[in-house]
Structures are given as structure tokens and as C-alpha cells.
A and B are shown apart, each in its own frame.
Chain A
Amino acid sequence: MSETGAGDVEAKAATAHPESNGTPALEVRSVSKYFGSVNALEDISLSVYAGQVTCVLGDNGAGKSTLIKILSGVYSPDNGEVLFDGEPVTFAGPRDARARGIATVFQDLATVPLMSVWRNFFLGNEPTRGKGPLQRLDVKGAQKIMRQEMAKMGIDVRDPDQTVGTLSGGERQAMAIARAVYFGAKVLILDEPTSALGVRQSGIVLKYVVQARDMGRAVIFITHNPHHAYPVGDRFVLLKRGRMFGSFAKSETSIAELTSMMAGGAELEELSHELQGTVDPSLKEVAKELAAEAPSNAQTPA
């Protein structure tokens, strides 16, 4: 079943995105990943192109994080293949993926709180000077680059030896993105970058996503918030319980449609009815909101 399923998705992807000609920067073909008896991912296919933002949407437990970890080299898929620039690849690890130009901002940001900002910025990719036993960190250079890159994100790092633990959540997010942009020559993967941010900071992050796209990078933007995905995305891939639920170009869908598909329209309506049957007034309020999100009512323009 996986063979034919993959073919279907491939065919659909090809027809759905006639504008994306050329080789995808990064592509997965019918990959699956199992953890014990749990199918975290089943038969997922996805192509991302340079100069485009591909949004991967899904609710909690949809398999978004597992997909990221396959794309960034943390996991290798149990089935299917990963193609980089059209060539099948097996990443030896995140270091290997990054060396090929795939940089990832993980949801937990992959920062070490007790280490300074510049050490975090270059973690796993330290610039060095000198040769042989005298090879050492280029501390001055690293601090300078870090400050420049952080300034581009609108953050002035006052003290380069400041630990990341003393940064605010938004600043830490900005650091992780600045780091990925700096190292991500071709593909930039952002795992829920806006989930912990305020309105303004989310805005800055989204602006950065667009910037990276305009610089010709293939951006993969993982989120469960269609309101953040829709304005910046070129194509939208929906995951649900580890499976592909759909793949759309921006012209084929709307923010309301995305929202309802993500939440699972029918299920949402059902839940709404269920809650309306209760006596608790606050739950009734929730039911009303759910009904508004359900597909029958979802006509609000983006």
C-alpha cells in the first residue's frame, strides 16, 4: 500500500505545484518512522524548493517533530528515502546535515543555558585559528560574527559572555534562528518558531522567514498556527496522526480552510455538539467557538 500511496502523493504534488520546476532542494519520498509499536510517521512525501516557504501544519502528535528530525539528520527513516539536491542521501547525523547546508531551529532551540551566547551560537561548528596542537577557538571572530548576526535580528548583545540562560525567551529564539540562518546555506528548518512568542516577536520571526526565502533559501516552517503559516507560506503540507492529510499551494486554499482541516472539521463539529449538551456555561462558550472554527462556518477571509 505504501508504494501506491507514495505514487499518488507524488503525482498530486507534481500537478498541484506546476510553478515549482527544477530539482527540489530537499525531498523525502514515502518515509516512515516507527517507535516500537507506534507509527510516528507513515508514508510521508514532501519536496521543498529554493526560494519557497513550505509550511508543515499539524496538531499535537501529528508527527511534525519526527519529520523535522528526519529532515535534519537526527533520525534516519525506517522506510523511504531522503533526497538532497536530487541525490539520495543518508545523513550520518545533524552535523552531517548541517555540513551539507541544512540548518534547523529545534523547538527546544538546542541552546545550553549555562553557556555564553557566542559559545552557543557556534556550538558544534566552532571557528578555529592556528594549526595542530595550537588550534584554538577564534574567540574574537566568533563574538564579532555573533554580535553582527544578532544585530540583524534586532538584538544587541551587550555582553558576549552573557549566558543564554539570562536571555528572554524571544531573544533565545532569535539567537537560534540567527544561528540557523548563518549556517543554513540552502535549507532552513524552523520547528514551531513562534509557539512561545508574543505578537511582536512572532512578527519579527515571520519577517525573518520571508527574508531567508528572499535570499533563495528553501524554508520549512513547522507550526500548528495557520495564522502564522498562511501569510508567509507558498505551499502547505498537512500532517495528521503521522500521515499526509493533504498538500496545497497557497492559491488552492485559505486560512479558514487550513484551520478547519488542521483541527479536523467533522471532529470539531462533533465536539462542539457534545459540549453544547452540557450545562456548564463556560463549556457552552467553548462549543460556540468550536462551531465557528468548523468548516460549515469557515468562510472568514484570510
Chain B
Amino acid sequence: MSATSPPIATPPAAAQDDERLVPISRLTRTLRRPELGSFLAALFVFVMFAITDSSSNHLWLKQTGIAAWTQQAAFFGIVAVPVGLLMIGGEFDLSAGVMTGVTAIVMALLVGKWHVDTWIAILITIAFATAIGLINGYIVVLTKLPSFIVTLATFFVLRGASTGGVLLLNSGSTQITVTTANPPGLHSAKSIFGSSFFSSGALPSGYSTAILWFIAVTIVCTWLLSRTSFGNWIFASGGDQNAARNTGVPVNRTKVLLFVGTALAAALVGIISFTQASSAVSEQGVGYEFFYIIAAVVGGCLLTGGYGSAIGAALGACIIGMAFEGVIYAGWDSSWDFAFLGVILFLAVIVNTLIYRRALKARR
């Protein structure tokens, strides 16, 4: 049967001496990295505020300045990095900002009002955040609605319910403060989540523990994204859902897990801010969702998914942290923060688009 052999050309000989082969320089490889734009932008912003610093003793370059912006960056970055992963996976989470506030309120209610052990309260908060993440994720994958709309709805529900709930349970006050002298577990939880380290004569208050959490989240997410099968699935789910499904990637499971990831990261920020202040205010965290998206986009995550990096999103969060603090050190009116962020976002997106096009097309 198989006697009829097809009339076929021999395959190309050893491709080693392909005359079209062009060596790829180290520089080109660097230029192709998705976090390049955000790295340059972060450097630019840092130097700019070092120059414009008008505080006495030029505190921007001292520990005081560094501790200030890194804490800001940490609070944004802990959520921005998982939001970046979610964006690479092709989805948005607009409820992440309000979740940082809602989880802080859950903590405050449990510890301050109902006198639950802080560690048990943390477990309950984690369970609550997991549930919200699962709800977001399953609604998105089951209804196939844009996650922008689904999580916008979650955002409003959470915002309304938390404000209304706090007023109802807290006899009309929007702030819940721990009043008991020494609530069980709060001290030990604070030392892990809401404390500081490296305090010295030059910097009595030290660096916020949140910075360590920020670094840990960035390392874990970078590891996940670049060195695990799950990371491969994130890129594929955002890059081409159909291709991912056809090669057997569990796209829906990947996306649901990413939504749970952003909700858990938001809960971490909620726990940190509650243990730091021993109180929580309703409407806390509202509006932060845009900072997370800005950080991820500045960090090279494509709005359409399939491309980006966790380190880039972390650098994006650093830029936002520096912008908020730097404006104070420069002695400018802090209303300019947003205009400044807008310009940075715009420039970073232009640079990132160039990098992305390079990655997709250029060989040199």
C-alpha cells in the first residue's frame, strides 16, 4: 500500500550555516524585556525627585525618603503584582481596591467589635477573600462576560455593603477602632504584618514590614510566571485562549485562580493596614484599583493580555509610591500627583508598545 512514495524534496541541510542567521546581541535581548520601560521610568522619576527635592537636608536620598516611598510602593505593589498576573491572563479586577478596605473592616469588626482572636480573624478574612475571588472568577468564566464589567459590579456591591454594613453594625460611625487594651493575638499578628524593621538613630520609625511582604509577593509571582507550568498557562490564557484550550491548558481554572490571587493580595493589604493602625475606615481603598492597573501597565503588562512581567508591575508600584511621596518632598501641591501619574502612564505605554512590537516582530 505504501509503495507510492511522495515526490518530496530533501529537507534543508544543516541549518548551522544559514547565511540569514543573525546573532542576537545581549543589548537586543535586554531591549526586549517587558520591564525595561518601567525600569527606565522608575530611574527617571527617582533622579527627578532627587533633583527637585526641596526638603531640608535633602531627605529624598536619605533613609527617611526611601522608607516613605517604599512603604507607599509596598501598599500598592502587593496588589498590583497579582493584578499584573491577572492582566497577563487576559482579565481585569476592579474590585481589588475596595477589597483592601473591606478586608480591613472585616478584621476590625472581628477583632475590635466581636473580640475574636486576631489569628482566627485573619483566617476568616482569608476565607472571605477567597470566596470573593472565586465569585469574581466563576462569574467571569461561566458567563463569559468581560471581567471589566463583572468586577465593576463586585466593586460597587462591596463598596455599598461595607459602608452600609459598618454604619449599621457600628452605630452610625464609619470608623471601627480596637478599644480593648490588649486583644488576643493582635500583638503577634502586628509584629508579622504591621510592624517595622531596621529602625535606627537616623530613622527611628524604621521601614514598614509591608515592604518585606511586597518583595515576597513579587518574588513568588515572578517565580510562578516564569518558572512554573501555571505561569505558562497564564501567558497562554491571555495570549490566545483558543490555542491554550486546544493544547489542553485549563484556561478557566487558571483565570479563577488568578482572581483568587488578587483577592488574597488585597486581603493581605487589609490585614497589614488593620494591624498597623488597629482600626479601619469604610471606603478605605476605593480608587486604588486604578493604581494597580497603572502599575501593571507601566510595568509592561499588555491591556489585552498575554504579555508582561511581575517585576515590571512591582517597578510600576515603585513609580506610583515615588510620585506620591516625591511631590511632598519637592514641596509641590499634592494635587499634581495625578497629572504626573497620567504623564508617566502615557510615556510608559508608548515605550512598552515599542518593546512589545519588537518582541513580536523584530529578530534583531
Contact = CB atoms under 8 A, between A and B. Distances in A.
Given A203-B9, A204-B9, A250-B1, A124 B235 contact: no
Contacts of A163: 359-360
Q: Which of A52, A124, A203 has the most CB of B within 10 A?
A: A124
B187 interface: no
Contacts of B236: 112, 115, 119, 123-124
Given A94-B247, A124-B247, A204-B9, A112 B229 contact: no
Q: Which of A110, A151, A204 has the most CB of B within 10 A?
A: A110
Interface in A119-137: 119, 122-126, 128, 135-137
Contact of A206 (B8, B16, B248, B363): B8
A156 B18 contact: yes
B336 to A, nearest CB: 36
B contact residues, range: 35 or more
Interface string A97-123: 010000010101111111100010011
Contact of B249 (A124, A156, A158, A234): A124
Contacts of B15: 151, 154-156
A94 B360 contact: no
Given A123-B247, A126-B229, A231-B6, A113 B360 contact: yes
B4 interface: yes
Given A93-B248, A126-B232, A165-B361, A112 B6 contact: no
Contacts of A109: 243
Contact of A166 (B5, B11, B18, B363): B363
A73 B335 CA distance: 57
A112 B241 CA distance: 9
A124 B244 contact: yes
Contacts of A284: none
Q: Which of B4, B6, B24 has the most CB of A within 10 A?
A: B6
Contacts of A156: 14-16, 18, 21
A74 B246 CA distance: 7
A206 B9 contact: no
A144 interface: no
Nearest to A163: B359
Nearest to A51: B2
B250 interface: yes
A213 interface: yes
A137 B229 contact: yes
A159 interface: yes
Given A158-B21, A250-B4, A111 B232 contact: no
A232 interface: yes
A95 interface: yes
Given A112-B239, A165-B361, A123 B232 contact: yes
Nearest to A251: B1
Contacts of B306: 112, 114-115
B269 to A, nearest CB: 23
A49 B65 CA distance: 72
A300 to B, nearest CB: 16
A252 to B, nearest CB: 12
Contacts of A232: 6
Q: Is the interface of B mostly helix, strand, loop or mixed?
A: loop
Contacts of A151: 15
A55 interface: no
A25 interface: no
Interface in A64-91: 72, 74
A122 B6 contact: no
Interface in A211-235: 213-214, 231-232, 234
Interface string A161-192: 11101100000000000000000000000000
Given A95-B250, A124-B248, A165-B361, A137 B232 contact: yes
Contacts of B172: none
A204 B8 CA distance: 7
A108 B247 contact: no
Contact of B228 (A52, A137, A159): A137
Contact of A106 (B9, B235, B246, B359): B246
A19 interface: yes
A119 B235 CA distance: 9
B274 interface: no
Interface in B280-322: 302, 306-307
Contact of A111 (B227, B243, B361): B243
Q: Which of B8, B228, B235 has the most CB of A within 10 A?
A: B8
Interface of B: 1-2, 4-9, 11-12, 14-16, 18, 21, 24, 29, 223, 227-229, 231-233, 235-236, 239-240, 242-250, 302, 306-307, 356, 359-363
4 tightest Cβ-Cβ pairs between the two chains A and B: A156-B15, A95-B248, A124-B248, A154-B11
12 contacts: A94-B246, A106-B243, A108-B246, A114-B307, A123-B236, A124-B233, A156-B15, A162-B363, A163-B359, A165-B359, A231-B4, A251-B1
Interface of A: 19, 52, 72, 74, 93-95, 98, 104, 106, 108-115, 119, 122-126, 128, 135-137, 139, 151, 153-156, 158-159, 161-163, 165-166, 200, 203-204, 206-207, 210, 213-214, 231-232, 234, 249-251
Given A165-B360, A203-B6, A206-B6, 12 more contacts: A74-B246, A94-B246, A94-B247, A112-B240, A114-B235, A114-B306, A124-B244, A155-B15, A156-B15, A161-B29, A232-B6, A249-B1
